[in-house]
Structure 1
Amino acid sequence: MALDRALLDWLLDSDPALRWQVERDLVGAPEEVWRATRARVTTEGFGARLLALQDDDGQWAGGAYFPRGFDFEGPEAQPGAGQPWTATTWTLNALRDWGLDAAVLAGTADKLQANSRWEYNDEPYWAGEVDCCINAFTLANGAWLGADVTGLAAWFPEHRLPDGGWNCEWVEGSTRSSVHSTLNTVKGLLSYEAATGSDAVRAARHAGEEYLLERRLLRRVTDGEPLGPWVTVFCYPFRWRFSTLNALDHFRAAALHDGTAPDARLADAVETVRAARQPDGTWLQEHRLPGRAWFEVDVPPGEPSRWLTFHAARVLAWWDGEVSGTRT
């Protein structure tokens, strides 16, 4: 999907965390150009702001998944309140997604192993806990930072449910997979593969992807009804939340990693992204997950979002280029 010059200029007029990706994936800039922009994530804008907030013990906000002192009975823990996004795991997710060079965080993996414990069961940070989404984030972040997460990688095939996916509520007895949990898991497994070169979790990843593909990213297998109204509501940051755009972003990355063509079962999901494009070529921020953040990195709901426009345009460029026989 070709973007006009004005739209590209609008996307390029952004924080280095986004700009380098626009240069690489939409503009086709020379590698030395986008790599130079990517290096600025360390010293400018969103990336530099998060780095400056790291605690001396390697954590952010004093906690692994929740800030130190979080009141699990208080207002922020109530349904609909939205959890804080300031603790270590969420901050590492953002920095990794923004392309920060892991060398900038040299020593952090060891500090976290020594100082950070999971709120659920007080296990050491890189051992993970029982929640598959948390473990998937930790697997990806550990592989990125060079921590030994081979034991955590082995956890996922062992905890896949009979229907092919994962559910963070398995520990409460759930035997049916969740598209949210499964998407977060396959994203983490792919990040682990890409960072380590290991194929140990590839079969599990493919099984989880098949679970999502059987549903066309849109509908329940049992009765063909929509998975939910949230499926086509797009927001950035993606955080933990499933949407067709978030899922397609993964399937694009997975296909490029595996060297495979797009699966035809993605077609209907692709059209939900195409249909959300505004007449001016942008995509709107449609929702914002509630909860405390260090700072906002995208616009309020109802406004054109550079991040969503980038992700949607990249997905459509990949899909349209592959379907027409021209790789992008």
Structure 2
Amino acid sequence: MDTTTEYLISGDPAIRWQVMRDLLDAPADEVATERARVAREGWGARLLDEQGADGLWDGGVYRPGWADESRPMYDAWTATHFSLQQLVDFGVDPADARVRTAIARVRENVRWDHAGEPYFAGETEPCINGVVLTVGAYFGEMDDSAVAALLSVQLPDGGWNCWAEYGARVASLHSTICALEGLLDWERATGGTETAREARRRGEEYLLARGLFRRRSTGEVIDPRFTMASYPVRWFYDVLRGFEYLRRARPERDERCAEAVELVRGKRDGDGLWHLENVHEGPTLFDLEEVPEGFPSRWVTLRALRVLRWWDAADPAPAQ
């Protein structure tokens, strides 16, 4: 085992089991044993502890109960929506009795503020509905309402934008990656529909035509933050998140991503690690790793290594 892997495997169970599965090809029973610890130890257990008897985390669905709703955007990561997203990232076993109790509380009690709809039915914004689909698919709580809502607001360029209802006519990479992840996860859990698959393919083409981070019209970098590794990702896009989606969605690699993958590869430091480059500011229930910007991160390193492992092993796709 090299020093990079030793560094990763010394982390929280949420990281260890994914290293065993995705980088070490450990036997399935050993991976399952390690994964079972996530709901009982470390970050996963701590996050489950934070849920209230009413099914909510920090008293709210998308924003915590104490947030100032008069503000147009309040980035706090302590409420139910982002806590469920984080449990999926941790990889808690959906069949664990403690996890089933937590999800049952959400199903039975948690309602969106704007219309009182059940959490798993989704809301109106595509970035929210994409995450809802991912969460629902992971925990076996499928509701096609969020799929219909996503398909109804896909833009002509193939992507999505949470500001479309306010007049936006071009897609946002933030909204698009959330929608793509959700559609893929729902499709794999249910079998999907051809209509949804076609919508997902159009969304993928939106990313690929831009090389994951450049404007199609001018070739300029759309936003420097898209080239910076972040974790947790929340609703934000970056190149590494784009690759994490593509490695799951496509067994082959698309050469239009070649520049972006070398961007990721070039960020590895002399010790074989990747650094946390962009923290999405806002209150959290607790810190993961307690890593400040500019320092090595187990999460970023794990994600970068499995992306490169996929890319370097995959066959190129046919020319477009």
Distance 1:69 1:115 in 2: 19
Give 1:84 shift.
1.1
Matched with 1:43 is 40
Alignment of 1:179-328 (within 5 A): 179-200=173-194, 201-255=196-250, 260-298=251-289, 299-323=291-315
Match for residue 30 of structure 1 among 11, 23, 27: 27
RMSD: 1.9
Give 1:253 shift.
1.0
CA separation of 1:277 and 1:19: change in aligned 2, threshold 3 A: same
1:87 maps to amino acid = A
Alignment of 1:14-93 (within 5 A): 14-73=11-70, 77=71, 83-93=75-85
1:229 maps to amino acid = P
1:267 maps to amino acid = A
Secondary structure at the counterpart of residue 55 of structure 1: coil
Tell me if the contact between 2:225 and 2:278 (Cα under 8 Å) persists in the aligned partners: no
Structure 1, unmatched stretches of 5+, are: none
Tell me if the contact between 1:112 and 1:125 (Cα under 8 Å) persists in the aligned partners: yes
Tell me if the contact between 1:109 and 1:142 (Cα under 8 Å) persists in the aligned partners: no
Tell me if the contact between 1:126 and 1:138 (Cα under 8 Å) persists in the aligned partners: yes
- What's the CA shift string for 1:156-179, capped at 9, x where partnerless? 222101111100111112111101
1:263 maps to amino acid = D
Distance 2:175 2:316 in 1: 32
Identity of paired residues, percent?
A: 43
Normalised by the length of structure 1, the TM-score is 0.90
Give 1:113 shift.
4.2
1:22 maps to amino acid = V
Secondary structure at the counterpart of residue 118 of structure 1: coil
Distance 2:286 2:102 in 1: 22
How many residues matched?
Answer: 313
- What's the CA shift string for 1:188-207, capped at 9, x where partnerless? 11111222333452221111
Matched with 1:138 is 132
1:196 maps to amino acid = T
- What's the CA shift string for 1:48-106, capped at 9, x where partnerless? 00111111121211211111132124xxx577xx6111111101111111111223332
Distance 1:318 1:144 in 2: 22
2:157 maps to amino acid = D
CA separation of 1:121 and 1:323: change in aligned 2, threshold 3 A: same
Matched with 2:100 is 106
Tell me if the contact between 1:64 and 1:118 (Cα under 8 Å) persists in the aligned partners: yes
Distance 1:263 1:209 in 2: 11
Distance 1:180 1:125 in 2: 21
Tell me if the contact between 1:66 and 1:119 (Cα under 8 Å) persists in the aligned partners: no
Tell me if the contact between 2:63 and 2:76 (Cα under 8 Å) persists in the aligned partners: yes
Distance 1:313 1:83 in 2: 29
Give 1:107 shift.
4.9
